[in-house]
Amino acid sequence: MTGSSLAVGTHAEVQQQTALDSVVPGLTYDLSLFGKLDLLGPGVVTFTRVFWMDSDGSHGGGIKGDTGLFSLNGMTSTYAEMAFPGLVAAADSDAALVMVWMDGGAFDGSDGVMFVDDVTLTAIPEPATAVLFCGAIAMLLRRRR
């Protein structure tokens, strides 16, 4: 992703929407991505954000909530993972729109080059589900003996 130095406030972004019914309202998700900077000029800022979507229109459509902005500060010239855990899907959502972007500074000449890869949004099992899963494994192990 490259931001141009042609004008004040330049903008570059990438986004991906998950499939219909890939999100369960109220369930917790972890967002992670690998990123690196090739160039980050003065005043350039980088962010990510998740919008919880009603993509099939069953609850009026559109955005049902969002995570707010997460700064991607700390990126270096080497790929590194950045994680944003504990994101709770909004009521009436059935998909997520993940956005990563870079905005130029408040003056001309604010250049930036950022690379992003392996963006994942992973559901975290509810504690009750994890307990049931562990119980099932324990029963299987006991049966084998």
- Return d(Cα 107, Cα 101) in angstroms, integer: 18
Span 4-59, pLDDT tens digits? 555 566 788 999 999 999 999 999 999 999 999 887 777 788 899 999 999 999 99
Q: Residue 41 sits in a domain of what CATH number?
A: 2.60.120
The string of pLDDT tens digits covering residues 122-140 is: 999 866 555 555 555 566 6
pLDDT at position 140, please? Answer: 60
Domain count, the chain: 1
Q: What is the DSSP string of the chain?
A: -EE-SSSTT-EEEEEEEPPTT---TT-EEEEEEEEEEEEE-TT-EEEEEEEEEETT-TTSSEEEEE---EE-TT--SS-EEEEEEEEEPPTT--EEEEEEEEE--SSTT--EEEEEEEEEEEEEPPHHHHHHHHHHHHHHHHHH-
Q: What domain range is 55 assigned to?
A: 2-144
